[in-house]
Amino acid sequence: MTNTEYASITSAETQFIEALNKIFAHWYVGKKGEDFTCFRKTELGDYLWKVQNIVSEIDQNMEDIRLAEKILLAHDPGNFVLNKEENSAHAIRYHYENYILRTTKVKDLSLSLTNQVMQLNIKRGSNMENLISKRLDPKYGNFQIIWDHMKTLTDHIKPYRNHLAHNGTVNHKDLILLNAHYTYAINTKTLLTILDTRPA
């Protein structure tokens, strides 16, 4: 996945989210105290609040993904040499893990958003994707096209996300190589030569 695949997704370029923001502002902006509380308890107020909350979460996660991508690109050994006194691989791993978790969370939040917008009232769970696909009105056929595209962008990350969920950290040989490069000033070619010459 590249930064351009996510960077182009913004509220201003998404008609549904842009419309939602305008409706939310129309009904909520200016309401204070009892007026706010009373409207929040109405069916429309509750609906707008919950949908807007999920959209805000998606937006925040997208920002975090863009930041993680920017930092990871800056950590490229070929472009930027980090301070060798710090554990650079540790910093890279942190952003790498953040990127993985945020990317898969956007996918989960997208399912929650569809569930909330269409008022399907499906409880969160491992089978949520299948239940939404079965219960969504066929006239919203574009959902499956968009969802399949989203899966294409994110499914290759699932094994890493599952590893994080069960083991708590990413163990990756490239991070070990990076740490050796930054901490001990050993380049990858030299390290591989050392590994190749070890006794069997």
pLDDT (tens digit, 9 = 90+) per residue, 185-197?
555 566 566 656 6
Range of lowest pLDDT (24-33, 95-104, 134-143)? 134-143
DSSP character string of 103-167 = HHHHHHHHHHHHHHHTT--PPPSTTHHHHHHHHS-GGGTHHHHHHHHHHHHHGGGHHHHHHHHHH
**Predicted pLDDT at 157:** 86
126-183 pLDDT per residue, tens: 789 899 988 888 887 778 888 888 888 888 888 888 888 887 776 666 566 666 665 5
| Counted domains in the chain | 1
Q: Average pLDDT in the 8-35 region?
A: 81
Q: Tokens representing 135? A: 């219960």
126-135 pLDDT per residue, tens: 789 899 988 8
Q: What is d(CA 45, CA 25) in angstroms, rounded to the nearest whole number?
A: 11
Q: What is the pTM for the complete model shown?
A: 0.72
Structural domain boundaries, residue 184: 3-196
Mean pLDDT for all residues in the chain: 78
